[in-house]
Amino acid sequence: MPKIIAIGNMKGGVGKTTTAVHLAQQLGKKHKVLLLDADEELQCALSWREGDYAAWRFDALPYREATEKMTLNYDYLVIDTKGNEQGGDLVSLAQDSDLLVVPTKPDGLSATGLMKTLAPLVSDGIQNYRVLIVANMGGRGEELREALADQDVPVLNTVVRHSTAVGDAAERQRPLEAYTSHKYAKLVDADYAAVTREILSNVR
Ligand SMILES: Nc1ncnc2c1ncn2[C@@H]1O[C@H](COP(=O)(O)OP(=O)(O)O)[C@@H](O)[C@H]1O
Ligand SMILES: [Mg+2]
């Protein structure tokens, strides 16, 4: 049976899709990986993966099209979800997964969205989730990481740095690793390699 890693946050625009695509790409270096895009309306992860690039290392499908049988040959399923501020918490997503990764940016509004996202997980005693801070700039990410850790929120050590290379990569439908000429793209890609190692140590 594949291990399931879900990416979720009630808030949109917090780095879920970027994280799903790069986690899948990193895991794909050593494992068979299927990304399931559960953001029915936008399907941003799917369109990113549709880019013409020879070294994509994972398969991708709309979530609703995947049958259990289709997933059996994979080592990992990475599920990208949509932001859903209107309702629905992430408890069942966590319960159905080996690990729920909750990306957030270190700005005030995202941090507020994060607290609303985490509240039901905490009150239901869910433990298989980890917050991931992305788009770090000027020490704000480390600051938020420390604040969360002080409140006993499980947060990954790796903080993914901010770079405009992320938006460029999405627009060109290529992974960050395709930007060998772009110093910051390489660094963000290395951050995601570290994130992936940490995630693996949490799902084994
Ligand atoms: N590390 C990063 N540095 C800079 N911008 C980022 C970073 N991660 C994500 N972004 C940007 O933030 C926006 C939302 O990212 P996305 O992954 O689509 O989030 P979500 O899936 O949660 O809506 C996009 O414009 C994306 O380029
Ligand atoms: Mg998204």
Contact 185, 175 (CB under 8 A): no
Q: Measured from the CA of 19, which atom of ligand 1 is nearest?
A: 17
Separation of CA 80 and ligand 2 centre (Å): 7
pLDDT tens-digit series, residues 177-203: 999 888 899 999 999 999 999 999 999
Q: Following DSSP, what letter does each residue of 124-161 receive, concatenated?
A: TT--SEEEEE-SB-TTHHHHHHHHHHHTT--B-S--PB
pLDDT in tens, the chain (204 residues): 999 999 999 999 999 999 999 999 999 999 999 999 999 889 999 999 999 999 999 999 999 999 999 999 999 999 999 987 655 679 999 999 999 999 999 998 888 889 889 999 999 999 999 999 999 999 999 999 999 999 999 999 999 999 999 999 999 999 999 998 888 999 999 999 999 999 999 997
Residue 51: alpha-carbon gap to chain centroid: 19
| pLDDT score for 87 | 56
pLDDT tens-digit series, residues 83-108: 876 556 799 999 999 999 999 999 98
Does residue 137's CB lie within 6 angstroms of at least one atom of ligand 1?
no
Does residue 167's CB lie within 6 angstroms of at least one atom of ligand 1?
yes
Contact 117, 43 (CB under 8 A): no
Q: For a ligand 1 pocket test, name from 166, 173, 188 the mutation site with the most ligand atoms within 8 angstroms of its C-beta.
A: 166
What pTM does this model have?
A: 0.97
3-state DSSP of 2-48: CEEEEECCCCCCCCHHHHHHHHHHHHCCCCCEEEEECCCCCCHHHHH
| pLDDT score for 137 | 95
Does residue 135's CB lie within 6 angstroms of at least one atom of ligand 1?
yes
For residue 203, CA distances in Å to 97, 115, 129, 184, 198 come to: 10, 24, 10, 29, 9
144 CB-near residues (< 8 Å, 6+ apart): 104, 106, 111, 133
125 CB-near residues (< 8 Å, 6+ apart): none
User: What domains sit in the chain, N to C, each tagged with a CATH number?
Assistant: 3-198 (3.40.50.300)
CA nearest ligand 1 atom 23, residue: 13
Contact 26, 193 (CB under 8 A): yes
The residue with tokens 């890609």 is: 189
Does residue 16's CB lie within 6 angstroms of at least one atom of ligand 1?
yes
Q: Measured from the CA of 20, which atom of ligand 1 is nearest?
A: 17
In angstroms, the CA 133 to CA 156 distance is 8
The total of other beta-carbon atoms located within 10 Å of residue 71's CB is: 16
Strand partners, 36: 61, 79
Q: Measured from the CA of 136, which atom of ligand 1 is nearest?
A: 1
The residue with tokens 């290395």 is: 190
Q: Measured from the CA of 191, which atom of ligand 1 is nearest?
A: 1
Ligand number nearest to the C-alpha of 166: 1
| pLDDT score for 86 | 54
Q: For a ligand 1 pocket test, name from 16, 18, 40, 186 the mutation site with the most ligand atoms within 8 angstroms of its C-beta.
A: 18
